[in-house]
Every structure is written in C-alpha cells, then in structure tokens.
Amino acid sequence: MADWIKMRSSLLTNPRVTRMARVLLQDPEYLAWMYSGRDVTRDESVTKRDVSVVTRIVVGGLLPVWSMVNETAARDGVVRHASSHEVDDAAGIPGFFRALAAVEWAEELPDGSGVRFNNFEEHNSPQKERSLTGKSGAERTKEYRERKKQGLSGVTNGDAGSDELRDVTVTSQRDDREEKKREEKKDSLTSSAKLPTCPTQSLIDLYHEMLPDLPQVRLATKDRTRALAKAWTFALQSRRADGSRRAETSEQAVQWFRDYFARAGQNDFLMGRTPRSGEHANWRCDLDFLLTDRGMKHVIEKTLDPA
C-alpha cells in the first residue's frame, strides 16, 4: 500500500485549524518567530487577515507532523520518547504543539514517555499497523510459486509462466527496496527521539550563569533552539579524541555544557580580554557564536583538556 496522508481541501475551513491559528497568534514564542524585528502585541496581531494567513501556515505544518506520526506512531497513536519539542521541530513552527493540544489533536503523556495523537487513525493508518497486515514482495512471490505448483496459477505455457514469475520477482524486489527505504527514513526520523529531550531554557540559563559578561539571550528563537538541539545531540553522540563518550545521560550532557561554557570563559580572545583589530574590532562573542561549528572548534580544540 502506498504511503499517503489525507490532506483534505476542507482543512482551510476546519474549525480546529482556525482555532490553532488563533492560539498561535496568542503564543509569545510564535509571535517572536513570526514577527521578528517588529514590536507586535498580541491584541494587534489577532486580525481577520492574520488568522487567514496563519491558517495556511498551520495547514503547512500539519503535513510534516502527520507524516512523522504516520511513520513512527504505535497502534495507539503514541509516538514514544517524543515531546512537544520534536513536534514543533517537525512542523518547523514554534508553539505548534501547544496549538495542537488546544484543539485536542495531541497531548503529551504525563509520565514523559511520549506524545499521543488523538483519533489519528480516523483518516490515516500508522505505518506500523499497515506493516502488520501488508504482505512483502517476497511473501507475494512465495504465494505465487505455491499456486503455480498446485496448478492454480492459470499458466499453461512454460515461457509465459517464466515471464510472469520474472515480473512478480522484479516487483517483489522493488517492493523490498522501497520497504528498506521506508525503514531507513523511519530510523532517521526517530533518531532524535531516542535521545533525551534538549532542555533549551536550562541551557540558556546555564550560559547566563557561566558567562554573565557576554550578551544575554532574550529570545529563544527557532534558530537558537535548533542550534542548542544540535549541540545537545553532539554532546550525547560524539566521542573525544581518546574514544570516550562526552555524555550518555541528560545530567552528563548538562555537565558537558557547563564545562564547555567554562572553557569559553577562560579564552581571552572570546571574552574580549585581548586587543582586537580589523574585522574583529567591534566583534563580541555570544551564545550564537559558541553554538556554531566554528565556535565549538575554537573552544574545544584550543584548550589543553579534551572537551
């Protein structure tokens, strides 16, 4: 069965979708992302035109979110080990999960074990459920061979039988390749869900604690949230030069960030304790730089201790 998500034309006028748009227009994180650089209050944002525009943004966010659920959810509609952060990342829209929860399309499980998408099976079947009933190409080929042995295939000419069997075999091989691609795609979608959730605000607070002289972070923008999540994944999945893991638990990852910020604070150039000239004359280090590949290389490699 082909993979598809039922995106109905009526979604644009669906009351829940419209409600999600209004919820987003009351969400400070979404407003900071959507109206970056503008001084917009919540009341000024909720206009008829804005609701119409944001409704289309919601529909655009639903497709990747429902695709993720279709690939990774269990039969009960639960995406294990996921949280609101993974849903927002899938949609590419800050505050998207809160809007989903407001219309009872999704809820975060109280024990932190995952996210449930309510009534998802009403229009879609999770990939895992389809795989329980669908037959693989190899299974179809085996059944054909059994029918042929029993004389039930309807093939009387040997050459014709060979051609039909060859067609079935080619089809089954193609199905197997497609199944393998789906499994690889599913693994890539769920790889981040296997890791502990990145505590974005806690890491920002740690940056303020360890580096109070550097520019303060006032907005948890989409780019910063992603950069922190990338560094969080690096801390949990990478190894030092001696082969040891940087971190294996949330507590160890937080400690790695503490040590990382401490090392940055010992760097005279980053902290502005040395004279600067040319293109660096008015430059200041900040959290955004420390989360870039260049910044991490500067802190990690230009230190005596392995980071």
Kindly state whether residue 128 falls inside one of the protein's structural domains: no
| Confidence (pLDDT) at 150 | 73
User: Same domain, yes or no, for 208 and 261?
Assistant: yes
Q: pTM above 0.75?
A: no
User: Same domain, yes or no, for 186 and 205?
Assistant: no
| Confidence (pLDDT) at 23 | 92
Which contacts (CB < 8 Å, 24+ apart) does range 117-121 have?
117/69, 117/73, 117/77, 117/78, 117/79, 118/77, 119/77, 120/66, 120/69, 120/73, 120/77, 121/77
User: Same domain, yes or no, for 280 and 180?
Assistant: no
User: Same domain, yes or no, for 154 and 80?
Assistant: no
User: Same domain, yes or no, for 102 and 39?
Assistant: yes
Instruction: Give the pair of three-digit tokens for residue 55.
Output: 């409704």
Spatial separation of the C-alpha atoms in residues 223 and 163, rounded to whole Å? 55
Given 98, 122, 146, the domain boundary residue is 122
User: Same domain, yes or no, for 13 and 118?
Assistant: yes
Kindly state whether residue 210 falls inside one of the protein's structural domains: yes
Do residues 64 and 74 touch, judged by C-beta distance below 8 A?
no
User: Same domain, yes or no, for 181 and 228?
Assistant: no
User: Same domain, yes or no, for 231 and 286?
Assistant: yes
Kindly state whether residue 33 falls inside one of the protein's structural domains: yes
User: Same domain, yes or no, for 222 and 274?
Assistant: yes
Spatial separation of the C-alpha atoms in residues 272 and 176, rounded to whole Å? 58
pLDDT in tens, the chain (307 residues): 334 456 666 778 888 898 999 999 888 888 888 877 566 555 555 666 788 889 899 999 999 988 888 888 887 788 988 888 999 999 999 999 999 999 998 999 988 889 998 877 765 655 555 444 455 566 667 777 777 777 654 444 444 455 555 555 565 566 667 766 766 555 444 454 578 999 999 999 999 999 999 999 998 899 999 999 999 999 999 988 888 899 999 999 999 999 999 999 888 888 888 887 777 788 889 999 999 999 998 888 876 555 5
Kindly state whether residue 306 falls inside one of the protein's structural domains: no
Kindly state whether residue 58 falls inside one of the protein's structural domains: yes
Kindly state whether residue 3 falls inside one of the protein's structural domains: no
Spatial separation of the C-alpha atoms in residues 70 and 260, rounded to whole Å? 38
| Confidence (pLDDT) at 47 | 66
Given 170, 193, 216, the domain boundary residue is 193
For the chain, how many structural domains are there in total?
Answer: 3
3-state SS class at 80: strand
| Confidence (pLDDT) at 2 | 39
Kindly state whether residue 127 falls inside one of the protein's structural domains: no
User: Same domain, yes or no, for 19 and 45?
Assistant: yes
User: Same domain, yes or no, for 160 and 216?
Assistant: no
Kindly state whether residue 129 falls inside one of the protein's structural domains: no
Domain that holds residue 155: 135-193
DSSP 131: H
User: Same domain, yes or no, for 187 and 206?
Assistant: no
